[in-house]
Amino acid sequence: MTGKQVSTKIQAPQGMSDILPEEQLFYKKVYAVGEKIASFYGFKEITPPILESTELFEKGTGEATEIVEKQMYSLKTKGGDSLTLRPEFTPSLARAYIEHGMISLPQPVKLFSFGPVFRHERPQAGRYRQFYQFNLEVFGSKRPIIDVEIIYIYYNILQALGIKKLIIELNSIGDKECVGDYKKILLRYLKKNEGSLCADCKRRLKTNPLRIMDCKQDRCKQIVSGAPQIIDHLCKDCHNHFKKVLEFLDELGLPYNLNPCLVRGLDYYTRTVFEIIAEDELGRQLGSLIGGGRYDNLIKLFSRKSIPACGGAGGVERIIAIMKERGLNPTINPGSRVFLAQLGDSAKIKSLKLMEDLRRAGISVAESLDKDSLSAQLKNADKIKAPYSLIIGEEEANRDMIIIRDMDNGRQTSVKIDKVVEELKKKIKSIN
């Protein structure tokens, strides 16, 4: 090997981790449940590229947001393009909707995605720099039932994963018209209290005063608790829209909490915004699992058409953390039914061929092709509690035979190798 000696320990980048074999089952479970429920409600899967033009997020997510200001992983390609690892799915899906002419499909168009997103945040529990999201978007409908459908689907996905004690935090942040008037009223109030705001919020007074509403600093929270609330300043259409959302949620019996401080971090939201939070036994909130809302003005930023839309994103690692904490382990496939032991090169190659026959017959099989000692191999068979072992020694290999050993009583029978799959099927059926 050439090159410099590596002196520092190479590790996964901070805030990013390997999804180890034992974790895979959790991701698969979240995907499988999400996919099944979303498909049932007519959502189709779409997988956008992980890298997109930086401009897409600057325009879409919004230049005054924390994500664009501080958290994007951006790079210049050799060809001089500026690309960014997606920090969220929504702008990518809006781009894809326009790029593939989905505007001319019957509306609404319902899409879902699953995959990693990247944000350069300060890593801490439940906050990573690479994490997975399960994303739902509906393009082409302004009806409040769609906002509720998205909330309902996420709620049902979490329930189907076994996560109970959920609460939906809800607010409406109006549309361009009413939010403009509200911002002026809010600014007037906040400016009176400017001296007590944290440094970030002082800056937000100029860039994005609405964000002050969800600042986590105690001093800002106190000021915000006396601030005018947007809900009292919605225009008639936004008011009616929100009223309908609440009525539908009531009819579905979903537990929600009106939260005037919920404004969400992204520029594109209009009207309904929501988060789904898990609570522990004592009713303490365990952080947001899902976040989303309506974004009726996003598509207009990229095309001449005005297309209303609504969506949400579920944080897969946070969902998995709760599943683990509550012992909601995904079921593991039944252990290997059969252990395949072999001796000698000719037996090894016959074993490999036989494994493929077993796979096609749907019989799960474990092996130790790299081992030579028969007793070591049978110990492995005991360890995984396989009810049967198949043994091919050199003699069996020469005669195209194989031994089936019942691991419970040690009884052995010899069969032709091309009959073993059939034989095993019968035996396995009798123990199921």
Which residues form the interface with ligand AMP (CB under 6 A)?
88, 119, 121, 126-128, 131, 133, 265, 288-291, 313, 315, 317-318
Smallest separation, CB 79 to ligand AMP (Å): 30
Smallest separation, CB 6 to ligand AMP (Å): 29
Instruction: Compare residues 313 and 378 and give the one whose CB is closer to ligand AMP.
Output: 313
Smallest separation, CB 381 to ligand AMP (Å): 41
- The answer to whether residues 200 and 193 touch, using CB atoms and an 8 Å cutoff, is no
Smallest separation, CB 208 to ligand AMP (Å): 15
Instruction: Compare residues 313 and 323 and give the one whose CB is closer to ligand AMP.
Output: 313
Smallest separation, CB 116 to ligand AMP (Å): 11
Smallest separation, CB 262 to ligand AMP (Å): 11
Report CA 371 to chain centroid distance, whole Å: 40
Q: Which amino acid is at 430?
A: S
Instruction: Compare residues 169 and 367 and give the one whose CB is closer to ligand AMP.
Output: 169
Instruction: Compare residues 88 and 296 and give the one whose CB is closer to ligand AMP.
Output: 88
Instruction: Compare residues 296 and 317 and give the one whose CB is closer to ligand AMP.
Output: 317
- The answer to whether residues 79 and 48 touch, using CB atoms and an 8 Å cutoff, is no
- What are the φ/ψ torsions at residue 199 (nearest 5 degrees)? -60, -40
Instruction: Compare residues 128 and 295 and give the one whose CB is closer to ligand AMP.
Output: 128
Stated length of the chain: 432
- The answer to whether residues 225 and 209 touch, using CB atoms and an 8 Å cutoff, is no
Smallest separation, CB 414 to ligand AMP (Å): 56
Phi-psi region of 42 (alpha: psi -120 to 50; beta: other; left: phi over 0): left
* Pick from 41, 18, 13, 277: nearest CA to 148: 41
Secondary structure string (H, E, C) spanning 75-92? EECCCCCEEEECCCCHHH
* Pick from 334, 292, 344: nearest CA to 313: 292
Distances in whole angstroms, Cα of residue 87 to Cα of each of 39, 71, 155, 312: 25, 8, 23, 14
Helices (H), 303-431: 316-325, 345-360, 374-383, 394-399, 420-431
Instruction: Compare residues 174 and 291 and give the one whose CB is closer to ligand AMP.
Output: 291
- The answer to whether residues 351 and 392 touch, using CB atoms and an 8 Å cutoff, is yes
Smallest separation, CB 267 to ligand AMP (Å): 12
Residue nearest ligand AMP, Cβ-based: 315
Name the one residue in this structure whose structure tokens are 């050799």: 78
- Measured between alpha carbons, how far is 338 from 344 in angstroms, rounded to an integer? 20
Instruction: Compare residues 156 and 380 and give the one whose CB is closer to ligand AMP.
Output: 156
